[in-house]
């Protein structure tokens, strides 16, 4: 069986760094604050926001929770975002997605102060990500990176998994995951193919990957026919089922082929919240300097 890329272990190292940086900021009287905007009653969103608030409490950040009813309008949500933009105690803001029908997430996200964009989804920050060529330049810019893609890169770096010169295939091209992770892998000098629902012969394309990122939201879709022996397999998918969370990769049949593989749960998902808190701490450091 391949090595497990352990999200619990790697996220713990991120939290240790966050705690120590919060300690330095505390000496200057600064507590990094993460604001969570939650609209409506979606049960999964409530769980995700609860996890974020819990991790803030455990790692030296304050959390500012802004729940809004499902009846809230786009204007109501934007008004809250503007308030948080102005609040000096808030260094990072996340608007939990998905938003209820009738509220356009693009119209809300663009209203965030890009400096407080803890999720790294503001068009300014995503535009910078496209413009900056190397990983070194991206890190030096201090822009907040989309959390799940940044978490995936941290996993590869933590385990010293070579990326430069590797062939990477990313299945999925969303703004949240697929596009930014492809951009980040390219910044680390991988040769990247972005596959999607129109890709012909998808399993053959996946077979070419040294690093395969599955972010399509179809449980168990990537089977052993899509995995080259020795490939690094990153499973981003999270689908809730009666038997718990399911990833996009058929873990049981792929694990013996992969050199490294992320489990679901306990893989990429664990990194996402850690990177959200990290973006907030970095924003607080920048605002303090």
Ligand X SMILES: NC(=O)c1ccc[n+]([C@@H]2O[C@H](COP(=O)([O-])OP(=O)(O)OC[C@H]3O[C@@H](n4cnc5c(N)ncnc54)[C@H](OP(=O)(O)O)[C@@H]3O)[C@@H](O)[C@H]2O)c1
Q: Which residues are catalytic?
A: 52, 96, 119
Taking residues 133 to 152 in sequence order and writing x for each that binds ligand X by CB under 6 A, - otherwise, the string is ---------------x----
Cα–Cα dist 275/282, whole Å: 10
In the complex, minimum distance from the CB of residue 280 to ligand X, in angstroms, rounded to a whole number: 17
Using CB under 6 A, pick the residue from 118, 185, 269, 280 that binds ligand X: 269
- Looking at the Cβ atoms of 138 and 268, the one nearer to ligand X is 268
Interface of this chain with ligand X, residues 151 to 210, rule: CB under 6 A: 171-174, 176-178, 195-199, 202
In the complex, minimum distance from the CB of residue 20 to ligand X, in angstroms, rounded to a whole number: 24
In the complex, minimum distance from the CB of residue 151 to ligand X, in angstroms, rounded to a whole number: 7
**Run of H or E residues at 61:** none
The Cβ-side half-sphere exposure at 22, using a 13 Å CA radius, reads 24
> Do residues 278 and 14 make contact, with C-beta atoms less than 8 angstroms apart?
yes
Q: Is the peptide bond before 265 cis (omega within 30 degrees of 0)?
A: yes
Q: How many residues bind ligand X (CB under 6 A)?
A: 25
In the complex, minimum distance from the CB of residue 74 to ligand X, in angstroms, rounded to a whole number: 20
Using CB under 6 A, pick the residue from 132, 217, 223, 266 that binds ligand X: 217
Angstrom CA distances, 49 to 39, 64, 178, 193, 272, stand at: 11, 11, 22, 33, 12
Q: Between the CA atoms of 176, 258, 240 and 61, what dihedral angle is there, to the nearest 10 degrees?
A: -50
The DSSP 8-state label assigned to residue 72 in this structure reads -
- Residues lying near ligand X in the complex (CB under 6 A): 148, 171-174, 176-178, 195-199, 202, 215-218, 236-239, 268-269, 272
């Amino acid at each position: 069986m391949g090595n497990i890329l352990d999200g619990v272990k790697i996220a713990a190292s991120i939290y240790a760094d966050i705690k120590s940086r919060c300690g330095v900021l505390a000496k200057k009287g600064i507590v990094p604050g993460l604001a969570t905007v939650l609209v409506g009653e979606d049960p999964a969103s409530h769980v995700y926001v609860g996890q974020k608030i819990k991790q803030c409490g455990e790692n030296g950040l304050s959390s500012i929770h802004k729940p809004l009813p499902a009846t809230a309008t786009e204007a109501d949500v934007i008004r809250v975002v503007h308030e948080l933009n102005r609040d000096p105690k808030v260094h990072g803001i996340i608007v939990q997605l998905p938003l209820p029908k009738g509220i356009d997430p693009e119209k809300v996200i663009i209203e965030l102060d890009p400096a407080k964009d803890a999720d790294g989804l503001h068009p300014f920050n995503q535009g910078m990500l496209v413009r900056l060529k190397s990983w070194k330049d991206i890190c030096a810019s201090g822009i907040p990176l989309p959390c799940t893609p940044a978490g995936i890169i941290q996993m590869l770096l933590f385990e010293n998994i070579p990326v430069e010169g590797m062939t990477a295939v990313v299945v999925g091209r969303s703004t949240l995951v697929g596009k930014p992770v492809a951009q980040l892998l390219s910044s680390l000098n991988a040769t990247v193919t972005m596959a999607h629902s129109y890709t012909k012969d998808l399993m053959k394309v996946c077979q070419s990957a040294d690093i395969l990122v599955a972010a399509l939201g179809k449980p168990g879709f990537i089977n052993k026919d899509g995995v080259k022996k020795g490939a690094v397999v990153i499973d981003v998918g999270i689908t809730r089922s009666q038997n718990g969370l399911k990833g996009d990769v058929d873990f049981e049949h792929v694990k013996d082929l992969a050199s490294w593989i992320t489990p679901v749960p306990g893989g990429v998902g664990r990194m996402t919240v850690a990177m959200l808190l990290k973006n907030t701490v970095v924003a607080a450091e920048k605002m303090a300097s």
